[in-house]
Amino acid sequence: MNRARRPLIAGNWKMNLGGPEAIELAEALVKASKPCANVDVVICPPFTALAAVASEVDGTHVGLGAQNLHPKTSGAFTGEVSAPMLLAAGCQWVIVGHSERRQFFGDTDAFVAEKTQAAIAAKLAPIVCIGELEREREAGHTLQVLERQVNAVLAILAANPEAPMAIAYEPVWAIGTGKAATAADAEEAHAFVRKLLASASETLAARVRVLYGGSVTGANARELLACPNVDGALVGGASLTVEKFEPIFGAAHALTLS
Ligand code: PGA
């Protein structure tokens, strides 16, 4: 963790908690995260819960994000949701290019770039997800994959270096498997991403928060977040209850005081 950047802990609820239980969790998280004033806590419920959760977190220190968007602002795109719609629902953030979208819904680097552009144009802060597959890591191609994925959005990010945004490094083999990257592997990837950002803009590299994602829990959060280039976490499974999520943003807050 680098003190110059405020830690960001984002919860990706995926296709869970779409109804009244979303409001309950949001309410509990607003209370639980109150003492963690040095950390940005963001929750990303499914689309159906966004508006209701927005009224729960409005005016609190908890931010709201969506999990996906369509790059066009409106039109004949059945089933899709645009950046202006997410803004109207109360979002400040949006996850873009999550590996599940890349794997199961055909999101390409080019489409991820379009979505990133649309988010920034609408003044929504993108959390752009990148990360290698297990076979790519085993073949020694991790940095090559990250370079390709970062380069797809680099010009867009560099054109808006002051805009709030984040990159989430999520090794695909670590997502939902209970097998997080080691702190050393995470730091290597994050430092590499920072170098790529710096090649386009020093301001960008200094400002963008690079989050780690993939089996983050209360047990490993402190070690991962202590790495100099890890500025926060994107948390899936462990963001679904206050008991599991609180130790993660709590660890981030404690590190800012240490
Ligand atoms: P996980 O998911 O924390 O359950 O591994 C992370 C993510 O997919 O963003």
Average pLDDT, stretch 116-135?
A: 98
- Inter-axis angle of helices 142-158 and 109-121, nearest 10: 30
Asked whether 12 lines ligand 1 (CB < 6 A), one says: yes
97 lines ligand 1 (CB under 6 A): no
Confidence of residue 165 (pLDDT cuts 50, 70, 90): very high
Residue 186's pLDDT is what? 98
What pLDDT shows up at residue 2?
85
Q: 11-55, pLDDT tens digit by residue?
A: 999 999 999 999 999 999 999 999 999 999 999 999 999 999 999
pLDDT number for residue 3: 81
Alpha helix locations (H) across 159-238?
A: 183-200, 202-207, 221-225
Q: Are 42 and 8 in contact (CB under 8 A)?
A: yes
CA distances from 112 to 64, 68, 79, 152, 239 (A): 20, 10, 18, 8, 24
Domains and CATH numbers, the chain: 65-233 (3.20.20.70)
Closest residue CA from atom 3 of ligand 1:
236
The overall pTM is greater than 0.85: yes
Atom nearest to 99 CA in ligand 1: 8
Name which of 228, 218, 225, 230 is nearest 252 in CA terms.
Answer: 225
At residue 35, the pLDDT reads 93
CB 215 near ligand 1, within 6 Å? yes
Phi/psi of residue 123, nearest 5 degrees: 65, 35
Q: Which atom of ligand 1 is nearest to the CA of 95?
A: 9
Residue 150: what residue type? V
User: What pLDDT score was predicted for residue 53?
Assistant: 98
Q: What percent of the chain has pLDDT over 70?
A: 100
What one-character DSSP code corresponds to residue 230? -
pLDDT(123) > 90: yes
Q: What is the DSSP letter of 232?
A: E
Please report the sign of the dihedral spanned by the C-alpha atoms of residue 12, residue 192, residue 102, residue 139.
Answer: negative
Alpha-carbon distance 99 to 175, whole Å? 9
For the chain, give the percent of residues with pLDDT over 90: 97
Q: How far apart, in whole angstroms, are the C-alpha atoms of residue 145 and residue 256?
A: 32
Residue-level pLDDT at 27: 98
Backbone angles phi, psi at 4, to 5 degrees: -70, -20
pLDDT value of residue 1? 87
How many C-beta atoms lie closer than 10 Å to residue 244's C-beta?
Answer: 16
Write the residue with the smallest CA distance to atom 1 of ligand 1: 236
61 carries an active-site annotation: no
Pocket probe mutation, ligand 1, options 8, 12, 225, 245, max atoms within 8 Å of Cβ: 12
Q: Are 12 and 236 in contact (CB under 8 A)?
A: yes
Is residue 237 lining ligand 1, measured as CB closer than 6 Å? yes
Q: How confident is the model over 62-112, as pLDDT tens digits?
A: 999 999 999 999 999 999 999 999 999 999 999 999 999 999 999 999 999
Atom index in ligand 1 nearest the CA of residue 129 equals 9
Residues 31-42 pLDDT 10s: 999 999 999 999
**Mean pLDDT for the stretch of residues 220-228:** 98
Instruction: Give the separation between CA 152 and CA 193, rounded to whole angstroms.
Output: 13
